[in-house]
Amino acid sequence: MQSISEISQTMYSVQQNISSTVVNINSDFTDLSRQADKAGKDITDGFTASAEAIKQAGDSAKKSEEANPAFLRNAKHMEHVIIDVLSIFIMVMLNLYEVR
């Protein structure tokens, strides 16, 4: 039969192991959160640059509408596609933040 001292020592050891595990889990979640934030920022920056490029292409297309109306139709279609993609991206990012 174990003495009270041995039982206390075992309980203390288990408590320390649990505390250490909780600290490690919290650290891992903090790291994952930072990585997700950085990835989200990188993706957002990429979409912002893409949106700016599309806006410039749309501006150019508007200027050349008389010369090539088919190009303008394609540019407008691409603009709608990009807006749909950006909408999906925003919904995904909002869902990721809700999970956290």
Q: Between residues 1 and 11, which one has the greater pLDDT?
A: 11
The total of structural domains in the chain comes to 1
CA triplet 42, 97, 89: central angle to 5 degrees?
50
Over the stretch 19-42, which tens digit does the pLDDT of each residue have? 888 888 888 888 888 888 888 788
Residue range of the domain that includes 17: 4-99
How many Cα atoms sit within 13 Å of 93 on the Cβ side?
16
pTM: 0.42
Over the stretch 7-23, which tens digit does the pLDDT of each residue have? 788 888 888 888 888 88
